[in-house]
Amino acid sequence: MSRFEPATVNLEFDKRVGDALQDQELRANFRGAMDFLMGKRAAMFPDKEGLEALRTQGEAIRNRCLSQLPELLEQFEQRCTENGIQVHWAETAQEANAIILEIMHKHDATRMVKGKSMASEEIGLNHFLADHGVECLETDMGEYIVQLADETPSHIIMPAIHKNKQQIARLFNQKIDGVEYSENVDRLIGIGRDVLRQKFFEADVGLSGVNFAVAETGTLCLVENEGNGRMTTTVPPVHIALCGIEKVVESLRDIPPLLKLLTRSATGQAITTYFNMISSPRKPDEKDGPKEVHVVLLDNGRSRMYADKQLQQTLRCIRCGACMNHCPVYTRIGGHAYGTTYPGPIGQVVSPQIWGLHTAGSITKACSLNGACGEACPVKIPLADLIRRLRYESNNSEPTSVPAPRGQGALRKRSEAVTWKLWALLLHKPGLYALALFIATRLRALAPRRIGPWTRYRSAPKPAARSLHELAAQRSQSNASSQEHGRHE
Amino acid sequence: MQRAYPEKPAQVYFFGTCLIDLFYPEAGMAGIQLLEREGVKVIYPQQQSCCGQPAYNSGYDNEARKVAAAQIACLQGGLPVVVPSASCADMFRHHYPDLFADTPLRKQALDLAARTYELTEFLAHVCKVRLVDHGPAATVAIHNSCSAQRGMKTAQDAISLLRQMRNVAIVQQERASECCGFGGTFAVKAPDISNAMVQDKCDNLLATGASDLVSGDCGCLMNISGALEKRKETLPAQHIASFIWERTQ
Ligand code: SF4
C-alpha cells in the first residue's frame, strides 16, 4: 500500500480484509498493541464517573465550538492575520496541495520536513509534492518508518503500529546506508534521530498538522511526544500548518479538558512531552522560529458533513484514535485493510463522507455495531449510529439533507433491496408471518444445512418443532380453560 | 443514572423476538413462566413478529419502519413490554424513537420505548425475584451481548440473577466484553471478520473450563454455539431464562 488510491477502496475492500486476516504476524501485532493501549487508557481513567463527567464536558465544548463554526473561523483568520500568520482557504484536496506548492515555489523550496499530519495524508500531499520535484520527509518516527517502507499509516496516532521491532530492524538495515541489523529499540530510535537531525537543518519548509486552532488568540496548538513537531515548526524558515476547518475552538480555556481527554484516550498518557503553541512568525527581537507562518484551512467535504445535523457529529472528533483501539474489527484487520487514510470506526464515518459513498462506502459494512467505539470516544460521537446512517445513505436515494452525502444511493443492490422488501412484507402481515412460521416448523427436517456465508464457519440453526407463537397460544388457552375449570369446581 | 422502576404490574406484554420464535421457543416459554411465577400475567400478542432490527442495521429504514409499525400497533395499551433480548429491547427503547422521529408514530414510539424492559432487568428490578436453585453444581460462563452492555446497560442484571443461584459459580472469560461477531447481518455481510471474532470468543470461553454458557441474547448464542458445533466442541449453551427456569422449579 504505497499510495492511497480512493478508486480502489470499494473495489478491493473484501480482498484487503481477506489478506489481513490471513496475515498472522499482522494480527498478532495488532492484538498485542490494541490490548496494550486499551489497558493504558483504562488505567488513566480509574474513576468511571469522573471519566463520564469529562466526556460530557468534552462533548459540550466541541458542540459549542461547532455551533459557531463559521464565526469562529472568521475570528481565527482575523487574529492570525493580525499576528502575522498568513491564512489560506482550501475547499478541496487539490486546492490545498496547490496552495502548499505555491508557497514552496515562492521560496524556491525543494525540501520539506513534516510533522505528523493526517490531513496531509488525506490530501495525498507527499506524492503530490514528489510529482512536482519536492522532497518531503516525515519526521514523526512512526511516519518515518512507514515512509521508508513505502506504506501509508495504519493508525491515526501510531502510524507504524502494524510493525514489530524485528520488521523495523530489517527495514532500517535494508533502507538506510550503513545501518546494521539491530532489534534494540533505543538503538533503532537513535538511528532514526541521526537521519532526521540533519534533515531539519537542510529543509526549506516545515509542515505540520494542527490539534487545536484557537479563534480568540489566533494560536495553533500542536500535541506531540518526540520533539520533531517543535523542530519542524521552528527550524526551517517557513512553517505551513495544515488544519481541518473543524479544529477551531473558541478560546484557550477550551483546551485543557480536550487535551486531557486526547492524550489519555490516545496513548494513555496524562500529558504529552510537548505541547506547542504557535501564535506568530519570528518577531524582530526573537532568536529563532520561522520567518513565515502559513495556515491552510482545509474543507474537503467537511462543510457537507456540517450541513446535516446527525452527520455533523463527525466533526467533534479530536483524532485520538481510541475508537480504533477499542474496535474488535480494527483489532483483527488493522488499518491498511480499510484502504483509506482514516481507518477504524471514525474512518468508516469520515472516509465515505470525504471521498463519497460510491468510492469508500463499502467500508461501513465492517462493523458489527457493537458500540465499543462510541463508548470509548472521549467526545461521545455515536459512531455506530453514524455508520448505520451511512449504510442507509449508501442504498437510499431519497434526499435526506441538503447537500446529501456524496454518492448517496450508489451502493444500492437490486437483489438486496428486493430481499428486504419481501422480508418487510412477510413480517408486517401477521397472517403471512404465522404461515411462514408454521411451514418452517413443520418442515424443519428439510431446513437447509447451508445458508450462505453463515454455515461456512458455523452449523445451521434448526427451526424448533413448535414456534413460540404456537406454544404461547396453547399456554394461554390452557390457562384460560383451567381458570374456567377452577370456577366451575 | 439508574432507571426508575415501577411497582410490579399485574400484566405485561411479552415480545418473543423472531429468533426465539423460530429457533429457541423454549427460552421464550421459560421467560413467560418466570414472569407468571412472580404473579405477573403475561399476554403474548399473536400479531407480533420482529422488531425490525435486521433491516434497520442494514440501512433499510423504510422496510424496518414498516415492520416496526406493526409491532407498535400490537403492543399498544400502556402495559410494560418485556423482551428476552437486550438487542431487541434496545431497538424498542433507543432506535424506534429515531426511526419514527419525523413521523406521525413518533409519540407512540416514545411511549413504547418508555415501557420496554429487558427480561433480566424486569425480573431483577421490577419483580425483585428471589431465586431458589435446585440444580446441580455448575460453572457458568456468561456472554453479555453488546446491547446488554452498552445499549440497555443490563449486563449486571444477568449476573445478579445468576449470583442468587446457590450451586452456580460464575467463571470469567478473557475479553468478556468483546463482541462475539454476530451483529445480525454483519455475520453474513462480513463473514470472515465475523468468523475471526467468534473463533476468539469460542477460544476464550472454552479456556474457562465452564460447564455451561449462558446469555441473554439468542443471536449471540446462535453464533457462538453454531461455531462451537462446527468445531465439534461442546459447551452447552442456553438462554438465561431457560437456564434459570430449569434450575428453580
Ligand atoms: S471518533 Fe472519538 S474516539 Fe475516534 S478518533 Fe475521533 S475523538 Fe477519538
Indicate the pLDDT class of residue A446, thresholds 50, 70 and 90: confident
Pairwise CA distance, residues B240 & B120, whole Å: 8
Decide: helix, strand or coil at residue A242.
strand
Distance from CA of B99 to the nearest CA of A (A): 11
Q: What is the pLDDT of residue A59?
A: 98
CA angle A208, A212, A213 (to 5 degrees): 90
Distance CA(A316)–CA(A383), nearest Å, equals: 11
Give pLDDT, residue A485: 66
Dihedral in degrees, nearest 10, Cα atoms B112, B113, B115, B116? 110
Are A278 and A219 within 8 A, CB to CB? yes
Give the separation between CA B64 and CA A424, rounded to whole angstroms.
7
Q: Distance (Å, rounded) from C-alpha B242 to C-alpha B84?
A: 11
Assembly ipTM: 0.96
**Ligand 1 center to residue B44 CA distance, Å?**
43
> Which residue of chain A is at minimal alpha-carbon distance from B178?
A328
Do residue B192 and residue A18 have CB atoms under 8 angstroms apart?
Answer: yes
The ligand 1 atom at the shortest distance from the C-alpha of residue A156 is: 5
Checking if the pLDDT of A152 tops 50, the result is yes
Share of chain B above pLDDT 90, in %: 98
Q: For an interface test with A, which of B179, B229, B242 has the most A Cβ atoms less than 10 Å from its Cβ?
A: B179
**Which residue lies with its CA nearest to atom 8 of ligand 1?**
A320
Q: Which residues sit opposite A213 in a β-bridge?
A: A220, A248
Q: Looking at ligand 1, which atom is closest to the CA of residue A324?
A: 4
pLDDT in tens, B7-25: 999 999 999 999 999 999 9
Q: Which residue among B44, B178, B188 places its CB closest to the CB of A452?
A: B188
Q: Test A388 with B179 for CB contact under 8 angstroms.
A: no
Put simply, the answer to whether B188 touches A428 (Cβ < 8 Å) is no
Question: Is it true that the peptide bond before B84 is cis, omega within 30 degrees of 0?
Answer: no
Tell whether the model's pLDDT for residue A239 goes beyond 70.
yes
Contact present, A294 and A103 (Cβ < 8 Å): yes
Q: The domain A46-305 is classified under which CATH number: 3.30.230.10, 3.40.50.10420, 3.30.300.130, 3.40.50.11900? A: 3.40.50.10420
Task: Give B200's Cβ-side CA count (13 Å radius).
Answer: 22
The minimal CB distance from A333 to the residues B60, B193, B222 is found for B193
Ligand 1 centroid – CA A345 distance (Å) = 8
What backbone torsions phi and psi does residue A182 show, to the nearest 5 degrees?
A: -145, 135
The whole-number pLDDT of residue A398 equals 81
Determine the average pLDDT of the residues in A166-176: 95
Q: Which pLDDT score is estimated for A489? A: 43
Query: In whole angstroms, what is the distance from residue A160 CA to residue A428 CA?
Result: 50
Ligand 1 centroid to A361 CA: how many Å? 19
CB spacing of B52 vs A427 below 8 angstroms: yes
pLDDT score recorded for residue A1: 52
- CA–centroid distance, A208 to ligand 1, in Å, is 20
- Partners of B64 on chain A (C-beta within 8 Å) are 424
**Chain position carrying cell 425490525:** B52
Q: CB-based contact (8 Å) between A471 and chain B?
A: yes
**CA gap B193, B202 in Å, rounded:** 14
**What is the Å distance from ligand 1's center to B191 Cα?**
26
pLDDT at residue number A340 = 96
Sign of the Cα torsion B172, B173, B179, B181 reads negative
Residue A73 alpha carbon to ligand 1 centre in Å: 22
Q: Residue whose CA is closest, atom 3 of ligand 1?
A: A377
pLDDT band at residue A143, thresholds of 50, 70 and 90?
very high
> Does residue A451 surpass a pLDDT of 90?
no
Per the CB < 8 Å rule, is B24 touching A464?
yes
| Position A487 pLDDT exceeds 60 | no
Strand partners, A249: A214
Spell out the SS3 assignment of B67-136: HHHHHHHHCCCCCCEEECCHHHHHHHHHHHHHHCCCCCCHHHHHHHHHHEEEHHHHHHHHCCCCCCCCCC
The contacts of residue B189 (CB under 8 Å, 6+ apart) are: A365, B58
Q: What is the pLDDT of residue B42?
A: 97
Query: How far does the CA of residue B190 sit from the closest CA of chain A (Å)?
Result: 6
Q: What's the pTM?
A: 0.96
Residues of A in contact with B69 (CB under 8 A): 428
Residue A107 in contact with partner chain B when CB distance is under 8 A: no
Strand blocks (E) in A262-353: 274-278, 292-298
Ordered DSSP codes for B176-205? TTS--S-TTTHHHHSHHHHHHHHHHHHHHH
Residues of chain B positioned with their CB less than 8 A from the CB of A476 = 43-44
A374 inside 8 A of chain B by CB: yes
State which of A264, A265, A311, A317 you would mutate to test the pocket of ligand 1, scoring each by most atoms of that ligand within 8 A of its C-beta: A317
The candidate with the shortest Cα–Cα distance to B237, out of B6, B27, B76, B88, is B27
Q: Counting atoms of ligand 1 from 1, which one is nearest the CA of A346?
A: 1
> How many CB atoms sit inside 10 A of residue B136's CB?
9
Average pLDDT, chain A: 94
Which of residues 56 through 115 in chain B touch A, CB cutoff 8 A? 56-64, 66-67, 69-70, 74, 98
Give the residue from A429, A412, A369, A361 showing the smallest Cα distance to A390: A361
CA distance A314 to A213: 18
CA distance B14 to chain A (A): 10
Q: Is A416 exposed, middle or buried (0-12, 13-18, 19+ CB in 10 A)?
A: middle
Which tens digits make up the pLDDT trace of A390-427? 999 999 888 777 788 999 999 999 999 999 999 999 99
Give pLDDT < 50 ranges for chain B.
1
pLDDT in tens, A283-317: 999 988 999 999 999 999 999 999 999 999 999 99
What is the average per-residue pLDDT within A90-114?
97
- In angstroms, what separates the C-alpha of A26 from chain B's closest C-alpha? 14
- Nearest-angstrom CA–CA distance, A337 and A348: 12
**Could you give the CA distance from residue A343 to residue A9 in angstroms, rounded to a whole number?**
11
| Concatenated DSSP letters of A218-233 | TEEEEEESSSHHHHHH
Is A48 part of the contact surface with chain B (CB cutoff 8 Å)? no
Least confident of A81-90, A185-194, B95-104, B192-201: A185-194
> A371 in contact with B at a CB cutoff of 8 Å?
yes
H or E element, residue A52:
helix A48-67
Residue closest via CA to ligand 1's atom 4 equals A323
pLDDT above 90: percentage of residues in chain A:
87
Nearest chain B Cα distance for residue A48, angstroms: 12
What's the whole-number mean pLDDT along residues A144-162? 96
Element holding B37 (H helix, E strand)? helix B25-37
Q: How many beta-carbon contacts under 8 Å exist across A and B? A: 187
Domain residue ranges in chain A: 1-44+321-412, 46-305, 427-486
pLDDT classification of A109: cutoffs 50, 70, 90: very high
Residues of B with Cβ-Cβ distance to A409 under 8 angstroms: none
- Record: contact A388-B192, CB cut-off 8 A: no
- The CB of A346 under 6 Å from ligand 1? The reply is yes
